[in-house]
Amino acid sequence: MAILKLALDKRRQKKNGTYPIVFTTVLNSKPLRISTGVSVRAEDFNEQTGVLKGEPKLTESLFKLESLYLKRLQLFLLNHPSVSCTKTLKQFLLNRTTEEVTILSYWNNVVDDLCSKKRFGGAKVHKQSISTIGKHLNLNIPFKDLSYRSLLELEKKLYVSGVSTNGMGVYFRSLRTVCNLAINEDLVNVEWYPFKKYKIKKELTTPRVLNKQELQRYFNLVLDEASPEYKYWCIGKLLFMLRGINITDLLMLTKQNINNERLIYRRSKTGKLYSIKLTAEIYQVLNSFSATTTLLGISELSEFKSSRRVENITQRRKVINHHLAKIGQCLGFREKLTTYVFRYSYANLAKQMGYSKDIIAEALGHEYGNAVTGIYLEQFDQEVVDKMNQDLIEAVSA
């Protein structure tokens, strides 16, 4: 009897602590796994029932796909009793052949898949990459027709059209991701991989930062609460005091994120868990906002959970940056003040005050390279990072 089931692929845990969900079956004692493109934490997946915690629609979609694959599996075994190649079975289950699938059709499927999982930010990047690359490279070709030479020609054309080196890097990384997915699904052999030789270029950029004196001037600015810039000035302070929090995450916080005088949330981009001690200074700024569905009370939470989430957050960021820029001009800052400046400035000041790169990385949610220090921080990071954060807050409030 043919057996196909959903399971966690625990061979490879992702950096955000999740595991890929795959369909598994066996052909002549050879295991076969088919990616679903979904990754979850172990505690959010019931391996007995295949149900995803809090995701009824996604669970239903996976069950429908499981039923389809099972029917194809039974048909394959009936018509190909002597075939033992898992690759042939995988192609049959996916109902794909390398001749049928073009880069464009597959890439559009990747976009649709991301949208179905509400990963609208990633979908937007891929859409833009398809649009830009499609102007200079025919994407209606099989993957095998994309070569190292194709990438060199594409690079040349993008340069001529005025795309920056780092902007080009975004498009090439998007294309590389799609090529890797195609290899994982056996649409093309790994030997074909054109990015094996082609290296995506990157230009170093000087991050915009405020020095300690400028941060002090910002924090000690006296603004009337009736001023149109007041709440945006407060947002800037929170961006710094909450350890360089990303503006998207700050906008989506609710009262439920506060527990036992700590702000606890998962980074929307990476899924990494943050726990930040709420100091008296942070509470004072938070009290400036009338919290409704979001902690800052300047928007409805539903606004950030719709299909237009990326557009809504982008618009909010533009408004905030507009007001921050006006505050920066009034203070005579040499750098244009934006939400990102506070994150860079936090890291820069921490470094100037003598804190190690490992502790700064932990505070910002980055991966740190020293394995021994990493183990130490996993056990004691709360009080170590809390102390650093308090020191930085006191330094800019002086």
Please classify residue 127 by burial: count the beta carbons closer than 10 Å to its beta carbon, then call 0-12 exposed, 13-18 middle and 19+ buried: middle
pLDDT of residue 370: 45
* CATH number of the domain located at residue range(s) 212-397 in this protein: 1.10.443.10
Confidence of residue 194 (pLDDT cuts 50, 70, 90): very high
Is residue 266 over pLDDT 60? yes
pLDDT of residue 375: 40
Is residue 337 over pLDDT 70? yes
Mean pLDDT of 328-338: 91
Provide the percentage of residues in the chain whose pLDDT is more than 70.
Answer: 89
**Inter-CA distances, 335 with 210, 218, 247, Å:** 7, 13, 19
Provide the percentage of residues in the chain whose pLDDT is more than 90.
Answer: 39
pLDDT of residue 379: 45
pLDDT of residue 100: 56
In angstroms, rounded to a whole number, what is the distance separating the alpha carbons of residues 230 and 222? Answer: 9
Average pLDDT of the residues of the chain: 85
Mean pLDDT of 70-78: 78
Tens digits of residue pLDDT in 2-37: 688 898 988 878 888 899 998 888 887 888 888 888
Question: Within 13 A of 173's CA, how many CA atoms are on the CB side?
Answer: 10
Mean pLDDT of 284-310: 75
Region of poorest pLDDT, from 48-52, 199-203, 289-293? 289-293
In angstroms, rounded to a whole number, what is the distance separating the alpha carbons of residues 342 and 317? Answer: 14
- DSSP, collapsed to helix, strand or coil, labels residue 328 as helix
pLDDT of residue 175: 96
In angstroms, rounded to a whole number, what is the distance separating the alpha carbons of residues 360 and 366? Answer: 8
Q: Residue 102 gets which letter from DSSP?
A: B
Confidence of residue 216 (pLDDT cuts 50, 70, 90): very high
pLDDT of residue 70: 84
Tens digits of residue pLDDT in 92-131: 777 655 445 789 988 988 888 888 777 777 888 999 999 9
Tens digits of residue pLDDT in 343-381: 999 999 999 999 888 888 888 876 554 444 444 445 446
Mean pLDDT of 156-161: 93
pLDDT of residue 301: 63
In angstroms, rounded to a whole number, what is the distance separating the alpha carbons of residues 283 and 7? Answer: 44
Instruction: Return the domain boundaries, the chain.
Output: 5-94, 103-196, 212-397
